[in-house]
């Protein structure tokens, strides 16, 4: 079952969904996403991870924003595999993933992972594992742009 917001249920045969959004993930978008679940009364717990751009200071220069690029086609296929794996491992009701492309300013949200289940444990564990796999497996790159407009390529920790 799909809705306009790109929701997924735990059914088989899902197609790769777009997870990329241009620019930051807005707090109001996250709020709307939560609100939309009020009609799904089999859900008993949600888990949400929000990745936020840090204003790191590197060699005396402060990060103003991160510009994200991705090998989109490959990333969407990989995300589809991760989603399938997570749904077969955990008793989830739904999962939503949004990752920014382009510039995201320090303090803004660049990753939104949202899992829901009947009981909290599945949602919490699935959310954590999904975030870890996104970081490790999605072909996405961040370019840290400093206040003085120089840059360096981000290294994941």
Q: Who contacts 95 (Cβ-Cβ below 8 Å, separation ≥6)? A: 8, 83, 86, 87, 113, 114, 115, 116, 126, 130
Residue 15 interacts with another protein (CB under 8 A): yes or no: no
Tokens representing residue 77 in the block:
């296929």
Binders of another protein among residues 28 to 67 (CB under 8 A) are 51
Residue 131 interacts with another protein (CB under 8 A): yes or no: yes
Phi, psi of 8 (to 5 degrees): -130, 140
The residue range among 30-38, 88-96, 121-129, 132-140 that interacts with another protein, by the rule CB under 8 A, is 132-140
Closer to another protein by Cβ: residue 4 or 157: 157
Tokens representing residue 10 in the block:
């735990």
Closest contact distance (angstroms) between CB of 116 and another protein is: 21
Q: Who contacts 60 (Cβ-Cβ below 8 Å, separation ≥6)? A: none
Residue 95 interacts with another protein (CB under 8 A): yes or no: no
- Of the candidate residues 47, 114, 126, 142, the single one contacting another protein (CB under 8 A): 142
Report the distance separating Cα 96 and Cα 114, nearest Å: 5
Residue 17 interacts with another protein (CB under 8 A): yes or no: no
Closest contact distance (angstroms) between CB of 137 and another protein is: 7
Closer to another protein by Cβ: residue 30 or 118: 30
Q: How many CA atoms lie within 13 A of 24 on its CB side?
A: 15
> Interface with another protein by CB under 8 A: which residues?
51, 68-71, 73-74, 77, 99, 110-111, 131, 134-143, 153-156
């Amino acid at each position: 079952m799909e809705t306009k917001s790109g929701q997924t249920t735990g059914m088989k045969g899902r197609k790769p969904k777009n997870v990329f959004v241009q620019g930051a993930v807005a707090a109001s978008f996250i709020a709307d996403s939560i609100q939309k679940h009020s009609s799904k009364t089999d859900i008993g717990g949600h888990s949400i991870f929000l990745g936020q751009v840090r204003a790191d200071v590197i060699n005396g220069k402060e990060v103003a924003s991160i510009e994200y690029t991705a090998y989109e086609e490959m990333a969407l296929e990989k995300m589809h595999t991760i989603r399938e794996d997570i749904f077969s491992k955990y008793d989830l009701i739904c999962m939503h993933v949004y990752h920014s492309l382009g510039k995201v300013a320090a303090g803004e949200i660049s990753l939104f992972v949202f899992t829901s289940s009947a009981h909290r444990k599945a949602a919490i564990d699935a959310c954590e594992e999904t975030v870890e796999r996104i970081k490790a497996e999605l072909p996405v790159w961040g370019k840290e742009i400093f206040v003085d407009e120089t840059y360096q390529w981000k290294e994941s920790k």
